[in-house]
Amino acid sequence: MNVNGSVTPQKFYFQPSASRVCELHRMLIEVDDNAAAGVDEFGAAMALTNGVLIRVIDSGENVILDLLDGEAIKSNGDWAKHCYDAQNIGINLSGDDIWTVRWSFDRAGQPLWFPVGHDYRLEVVIQDDLTSLVDFHIMVQGYYD
């Protein structure tokens, strides 16, 4: 997701089947940059202007659940405000600094639940230019009932 969303926001999403119940238990995030990355930066660059949004929306683009309560992720340290498990694992073999984040929805109360018959999706919106990052990935984990 290291794309340029500064002019036109770029949206990435996980959309489960509307015909089956889906529970998402966690989201794993990796922000990889080619220099030392501090808490007040995003990757190794300065904090983002607009930030990353994470929300559940319906097919009409209505926000069903804002996982960030109106506070976009603008820095590496912002991840810890919402999910606690955020760490800089340091320099890897290629010289990149990597921030890893584990957001366990089930540990924060309950999994994200996508009921049958609803066209909901988990959406991540990039609103800044992240092309200087080496890599930016998010993976969700859960199951269908």
Query: What pLDDT, in 10s, does the model give residues 3-48?
Result: 999 999 999 999 998 899 999 999 999 999 888 888 899 998 899 9
The answer as to whether 2 is a domain residue is no
In a domain, 94, yes or no: yes
Sequence-ordered strand ranges (E) for the chain:
10-14, 22-33, 41-42, 45-46, 52-57, 63-66, 85-91, 97-104, 112-114, 121-126, 135-144
Would you say 91 and 97 are in contact if contact means Cβ atoms under 8 Å apart? yes
pLDDT of residue 120: 94
What's this model's pTM, rounded to 2 decimal places? 0.92
Whether 3 is in a domain gets the answer: no
- Residue 130 dihedral angles phi and psi, to the nearest 5°: -110, 20
**pLDDT at res. 107:** 86
pLDDT in tens, 134-145: 999 999 999 998
Counted domains in the chain: 1
Residue 130 domain flag:
yes
Range of the domain at 71: 10-144
* Assigned domain for 29 exists: yes
pLDDT tens-digit map of 70-119: 999 999 999 998 888 888 887 655 677 889 999 999 888 899 999 998 89
Q: What is the pLDDT of residue 82?
A: 87
